């Protein structure tokens, strides 16, 4: 709640908190038992992402950045399907065959304070919520076989092109209906995100 408000230079003396120009106010009406309904009615903007394929520390850092971007932009975060994570080998008798999800390492589903700022749903929930004819990622243009395939991939996938559950099939579907930000860390074309100081101090109409 504190992040969503600030005292600008113009209001510090009066101690009047202003709505933060970048960080939306947290949801007051979050229904933890029916988070999908809350998302559909109050936070129908989404951020999807492909997980880093490096070691766990790379995955951790990139995931924390993604959560921050979702919070700053007022979006519901859609987790990728569970999959085998690099160097995290399955233990004997592991029924999930080494497949893991971020919820195995972070308290994402029961952390009410976090969910008020960043609602978090699974890829499967996202398809159920927005895959209809009036949804943001409609599946209505596919035949039954491919629709069923995407639902299967949304639960668990592999980053292997010849796999029957290739992760990129789902990500391609997202990309065909969403906006892929042209952001890269490659040195020659490296990007960074800039939050304009003038906008921060004076509001959205003061973009330099």
Residue 191 has phi, psi (to 5 degrees) of -115, 160
pLDDT digits 0-9 by tens, 173-182? 999 999 887 7
Instruction: Pick 68 or 207 by higher pLDDT.
Output: 68
- The dihedral formed by the CA atoms of 99, 102, 106 and 110, expressed in degrees to the nearest 10: -100
Question: 3-state class of 140 per DSSP?
Answer: coil
The half-sphere exposure of 153 on its side-chain side, counting CA atoms within 13 A, is 23
- Torsion 89-94-98-100 (CA) sign: negative
pTM: 0.80
81 burial via Cβ count (<10 Å: 0-12, 13-18, 19+): buried
pLDDT digits 0-9 by tens, 74-116? 899 999 999 888 877 778 888 888 788 888 888 888 888 888 8
Inform me whether the pLDDT recorded for 13 exceeds 50.
no
Residues 6+ apart with CB under 8 A from 76: 39, 43, 44, 45, 46, 47, 70, 118, 119, 120, 121
Q: Considering the chain, what is the average pLDDT of its residues?
A: 82
State how beta strands 120-121 and 76-78 pair: parallel
In this prediction, residues 127-132 reach a mean pLDDT of 94
């Amino acid at each position: 709640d504190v992040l969503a408000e600030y005292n600008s230079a113009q209001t510090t003396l009066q101690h009047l908190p202003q709505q933060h120009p970048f960080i939306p106010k947290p949801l007051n009406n979050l229904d933890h038992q029916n988070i999908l309904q809350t998302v559909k009615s109050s936070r129908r903007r989404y951020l999807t992402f492909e997980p880093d394929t490096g070691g766990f520390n790379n995955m951790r850092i990139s995931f924390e950045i993604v959560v921050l971007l979702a919070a700053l932009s007022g979006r519901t975060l859609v987790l990728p399907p569970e999959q085998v994570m690099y160097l995290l080998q399955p233990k004997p008798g592991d029924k999930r065959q080494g497949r893991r999800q971020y919820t195995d390492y972070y308290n994402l589903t029961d952390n009410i304070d976090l969910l008020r700022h960043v609602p978090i749903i699974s890829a499967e929930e996202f398809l159920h919520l927005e895959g209809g004819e009036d949804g943001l990622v409609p599946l209505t243009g596919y035949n039954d076989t491919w629709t069923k395939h995407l639902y299967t991939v949304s639960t668990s996938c592999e980053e292997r092109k010849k796999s029957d559950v290739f992760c990129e099939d789902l990500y391609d579907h997202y990309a065909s209906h969403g906006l892929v930000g042209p952001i890269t860390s490659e040195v020659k074309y490296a990007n960074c995100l800039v939050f304009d100081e003038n906008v921060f101090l004076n509001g959205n109409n003061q973009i330099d």
